[in-house]
Chains A and B, each alone.
Chain A
């Protein structure tokens, strides 16, 4: 798996070279959204927890891309933040290259190996810094180059790598378009020679022709540098283009996890099917679309049993009472799906 040499880095940093790059084990993140104590006492109500992520397990193999897809509030961005250690988990754990994440975050040598790319290239770059300084910051922070000349050479190399000119380093972020800014974000993320990149909706703020540029660039970089991606997106069409595996999230939980082609060719969970059904079709087959009814319920007070049951055409009494676990699906055993109907074979037809 690890035959791709990571440019400019000797692979000595405690990497075992085997096993997944990243694993989460039943990871959860709850936020306390209770009202202030006095008000709570007066109203006689207890604490209120928002379970943004409520028990998510997956693994990402080296050099591959796992995408998490879902609608607003499903917890996908919270997972991204858990995975790079921006939030400590309320339950469960994350291991990075076989090491506990909390431990790994304490070592600069491990921190260097993971980076994040954010959605909004207007908010994630310091407007007062020149681009060269923005990109050089991780190099300086991790002590990856000593002399000024070395740093300058590395910045120029990174700018070229993301399709910008080394001369662009002297400009400020406002002089660039959205797509170019996202290239700068990527160059900054790559400057510490990471192996694992978390990309939280990296193209959602971009126009479609520019989105294609960025997605192609990300694919090229992955092939060239052997990067591992966790890709967060709400756009299924984009996810299909970049992923090896895809996880579909709903109300803080994974409902389906499968190899990308399997998921798109034979979606199993009724929610996955509904999501695919909802995408407007460029091919215009004139199909009669039946949009899924209802809306995503509040994660503060999620429905009992399967969280999708109020919107699910296949829901029965068991779905209302019992929460389904992620188990291999009948027929497509590579797919893990949390659905009683699939388990019982009620999803045929």
Chain B
């Protein structure tokens, strides 16, 4: 087994509030191998974006890491001082967010933003960086890159802007990209272009990626492995194909079943009744137990850890001591 590029161990993120401490992430552990794409899927409030934010050190106060470790190349990065973290962010971890308009500085030309990123992190002078910036813009498919480099973000369309953001995230050649809903704000035809681009660039440069999205289709096409999150915990993690076709956790299989297929018409979609619990009211035991069709007594009392299930790992008592398939 290769050394993982990123390792997250028992991560716990808390939000202290007047009415007590809310636990947004509870005991989240996973790793990403070099060159691997890990998809993180879940519904709003499941903690998937929070996990990404914790890794790049951009948790919004009062949120804070209350336990666990984040290791990049075997080195702890969750407790670094701000200046050192800033050096890592950009150089070793690139970030792509949902909304390209808030990621880019509207007052600077895209060229200036690319040049600044590269001169900060790489041993390049401004002229070299500018030449490199044009190369990057060409690489992400911006037509007439040598002219467009002096345009401002508002002069680009949404899809083109997200291409600029991708160039910005990749230009310092980080080892890991954290992409949080990178295509959610885009139309489907543009989304397909951007995913294809992200995939080919990551493969070409050997970059690892943590792809956070609620769109299982995007993950199915892009990721190698997927982690399914629910109420601040990982409930299942495994190879994408396994999880899509043989989800072990009742929540993951419910989630897969509720995605409307484009290939055929169903009389009724499979639905999960109820809604995800609020952070202030996460039930005892397994957090999914009030909605779970296969719930039994143990689920209401004792919290399951990730355990082997159907070739994946699932946090579900159904698989405790059950005979395992390969």
Interface residues of A (CB under 8 A from B): 71-72, 177-180, 207-213, 215-216, 219, 234-238, 240-241, 260-261, 264, 274-284, 289, 291-293, 295-296
Contacts and interface: CB of A to CB of B under 8 A. Distances in A.
Contacts of A215: 260, 269
Q: How large is the interface on B (under 10, 10 to 19, 20 to 34, 35 or more residues)?
A: 35 or more
14 contacts: A209-B43, A209-B258, A211-B258, A211-B260, A241-B265, A278-B192, A279-B188, A279-B217, A280-B192, A281-B221, A282-B261, A292-B192, A293-B193, A295-B159
Given A207-B214, A296-B187, 8 more contacts: A177-B275, A208-B43, A212-B271, A277-B192, A278-B188, A280-B218, A284-B240, A291-B196
A284 B263 CA distance: 12
The prevalent SS among residues of A at the interface is: helix
Nearest to A278: B192
Interface string B246-285: 0000000011101111111110111111011000000000
A240 B260 contact: yes
Contact of B217 (A240, A261, A264, A280): A280
Max chain B Cβ within 10 angstroms of own Cβ: one of A72, A235, A295: A295
A208 B259 contact: yes
Nearest to B264: A240
A92 to B, nearest CB: 27
Nearest to A276: B262
A292 B189 contact: yes
B266 A241 contact: yes
Contacts, number: 120
B39 to A, nearest CB: 11
A293 B276 CA distance: 39
Interface in B46-67: none
Contact of B260 (A212, A261, A289): A212
Contacts of A71: 187-189
A280 B195 contact: yes
Contacts of B254: 209
B98 to A, nearest CB: 14
A275 B189 contact: yes
A281 B221 CA distance: 7
